[in-house]
A and B are shown apart, each in its own frame.
Chain A
Amino acid sequence: DQQVKQNSPSLSVQEGRISILNCDYTNSMFDYFLWYKKYPAEGPTFLISISSIKDKNEDGRFTVFLNKSAKHLSLHIVPSQPGDSAVYFCAAISNFGNEKLTFGTGTRLTIIP
């Protein structure tokens, strides 16, 4: 049972435009969410996070939006740059047992120059 879902395996976006990556979750006990970015042959690196008490968190070109009622979050990258081409994983933490992350299946983002 996939508790964190990224339904788009891949996404292509023109350089300079906005990239929107989506993530849905089913476990209502999740109360903290993170996005990780992964380049080929490297480990994932932390990108941005959001607590369930917020609906938006912004860090430079990256903004994460959380809609708790819909159990949905999204990562916006604007403007998109070629270096943003990577696989993006959404992850969630439960308020019970916050030592573990539950990851989604990932979305491969390709920025077209």
Chain B
Amino acid sequence: NAGVTQTPKFRVLKTGQSMTLLCAQDMNHEYMYWYRQDPGMGLRLIHYSVGEGTTAKGEVPDGYNVSRLKKQNFLLGLESAAPSQTSVYFCASSAGGVNNEQFFGPGTRLTVL
């Protein structure tokens, strides 16, 4: 089992460019999440999904869009990148339940110039 994988690992964008980050999980989890990690800010939830075809906003959704067309994949899109979106992005998945243990991918380091 690969667990949770993220593509790409690194990316540099210019302001105004667009890109899509791909997350894939092979654990048949219903729930999937996108977080960003910034120094001194911890992990902040961008968007999440509780099942195929569903998405919901998290704490910091502005400037991002997501899609969950297949259960195993969760895509995060930046339509017009801004320097404030320079961050490390983590995808996670979980089976839900009381403790909702989430399994994280290795992260994508994005720099917006």
Contact = CB atoms under 8 A, between A and B. Distances in A.
Given A49-B99, A51-B99, A93-B99, 6 more contacts: A45-B104, A46-B101, A49-B101, A100-B48, A105-B41, A105-B42
Interface of B: 4, 31, 35, 40-45, 48, 50, 58, 90, 92, 96-107
B41 A100 contact: no
Interface residues of A, number: 24
Contact of A43 (B45, B101, B105): B105
Interface of A: 4, 6, 9, 32, 34, 36, 41-46, 49, 51, 89, 93, 98-101, 103-106
A103 B100 contact: no
B40 A100 contact: no
A14 B92 CA distance: 33
A44 B98 contact: no
Contacts of A98: 96-98, 100
B98 A89 contact: no
B101 A99 contact: no
